[in-house]
Structure 1
Amino acid sequence: MPAATGDSHTRSLSKAISWRVTGSVDTFVLSWLITGSVKFAGSIASIEVFTKIVLYYLHERAWALIPLGRPRR
């Protein structure tokens, strides 16, 4: 069922995954620079990819219910 914005669950999930790939690369690079360890940076990026997909998806769906900034119909 589409959200109030017209985005389907599939679209919201796809956006969450594409954003997470971008975010995980960022997390990996920053972790590597800070720790100096590719292995440790990979561990951090691997764990956060799953938790943040779920958090982003829930955040996206919650915002779909909020009319703030949308034109009135």
Structure 2
Amino acid sequence: METRARTLVKAVVWNAIGLGVMSLVGLAMTGSAAVGGAMAAINTGIGLTCYFVYERVWSRINWGRAHG
């Protein structure tokens, strides 16, 4: 089972990568760094929360794990 700290670090790192990508996509799509950045920040906040909960749920499910 993963610790909450490990899950949180994984979520933060993954979402930092996503923030950078979404900022560039937002900038490319809107032509505005402010709008692209706002879109990315909102998406990252939602994604971080969802990813953390998702990982915590799956850490408690034994299905598909190899033991031994």
The match for 2:38 among 40, 43, 46 is 43
Amino acid at match of 1:68: W
Unaligned runs of 5+ residues in structure 1 are none
**Equivalent residue number for residue 18 of structure 2:** 23
Shift in Å, 1:66: 2.1
Give aligned-pair identity as a percent: 28
The CA distance in 1 between the partners of 2:38 and 2:62, in whole Å, is 38
What root-mean-square deviation, in Å, do the aligned CA atoms of Structure 1 and Structure 2 show? 1.3
> Are residue 32 (structure 1) and residue 27 (structure 2) matched?
yes
Which structure 2 residues correspond to residues 1-12 of structure 1 after superposition, within 5 A?
A: 5=1, 7-12=2-7
Tell me how far 1:67 sits from its aligned partner.
Answer: 2.2
Scaled by the length of structure 1, what TM-score is found? 0.82
